[in-house]
Structure 1
Amino acid sequence: MTPVHVKTTLDGRKVEVIGRYVCLDGQPESDALVVIEEHPNRQAILQAVPKATHVAGRIPLTMAEASVAQAALRRANDQFDGSQHAINERLRKGAWQKVFAEGAE
């Protein structure tokens, strides 16, 4: 899958969406974006990056960057892989999402 460039950090590392993950310098960081208002450490993030609207793992993103990342994540998620491994992975993630939604930590 072709990486989608989101931004370059101040220290020169690339933030890209590769497959279903937002990656920092080629290493998976997160598979979803979190709106800054929902993040438990939002005050510290906004103090460091005032224009941040979303975070992907430990990467703050502006609205434009988040839009690029979200679109790439949706495109990757829409591509259906019918292999047994891919189906098992989707079921595993769905089960964990349900457990966390019900209050497990």
Structure 2
Amino acid sequence: MYEGSAVPGRLSASRELLRLLIDEVGTPGAAAMRRMPRLLAEVDQHAAEVRDALGDGRTAPSTVALAGYTEGLIHAAEEAGWEFPASIDWAVRDWRVVRLLAICLLASDGREL
């Protein structure tokens, strides 16, 4: 059974995008959250906003919805002149990076990153 109405190719591409995001943002971000309680609180707030935007506000959105949201966020940010950072300074973080980290946590569905 496919997730929602996603066709196999779209679901596979969505999973791949989220895996890459977890590698680039989620794994280092999870380590930073363990050291920085304020970052954890920010990520929690962003995760709630993404859940609200993509669903009922209580459950994690589907893989395809999260990937689509991620693509839209990055595309809009790049059109506004933002560039994905070569390295992330978690002490001086851009809100977009925090939002991407929140997406990683939602994509992992509570599993350790």
- The TM-score with structure 1 as length reference comes to 0.27
Which structure has the bigger radius of gyration?
1
- The higher relative CO (CA closer than 8 Å, separation ≥ 6) is in 2
- The TM-score with structure 2 as length reference comes to 0.26
